[in-house]
């Protein structure tokens, strides 16, 4: 029988401003607390000099599965 042990969605998002990126992080954290769900895991964030956008790499739980710790 197949058993899923860990599953998540990994996304790379881009924002026009750093404040917009920070607001998204705070919003996702508050949403997880309200819905009693695992928090979005922030993997990395950076700013690219060529397009001046602010990037964020996150992992979200998929279908209420656990996420690996590393």
Phi then psi for 32, rounded to 5 degrees? Answer: -65, -40
Question: Would the pLDDT of 66 be above 90?
Answer: no
Q: What is the pLDDT of residue 60?
A: 85
Question: Would the pLDDT of 54 be above 90?
Answer: yes
Measured over the CA atoms of residue 43, residue 12, residue 16 and residue 50, the dihedral's sign is positive
Overall pTM > 0.85: no
- pLDDT, one tens digit per residue, over 1-46 is 988 888 889 999 999 999 999 999 999 889 888 888 777 888 999 9
Q: 40: closest CA among 15, 9, 4?
A: 9
């Amino acid at each position: 029988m197949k058993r899923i042990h860990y599953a998540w969605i990994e996304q790379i998002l881009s924002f026009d401003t750093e404040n917009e990126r920070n607001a998204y992080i705070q919003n996702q954290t508050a949403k997880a607390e309200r819905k009693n769900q695992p928090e979005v895991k922030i993997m990395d964030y950076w700013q690219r000099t060529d397009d001046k956008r602010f990037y964020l790499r996150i992992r979200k739980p998929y279908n209420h599965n656990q996420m690996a710790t590393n």
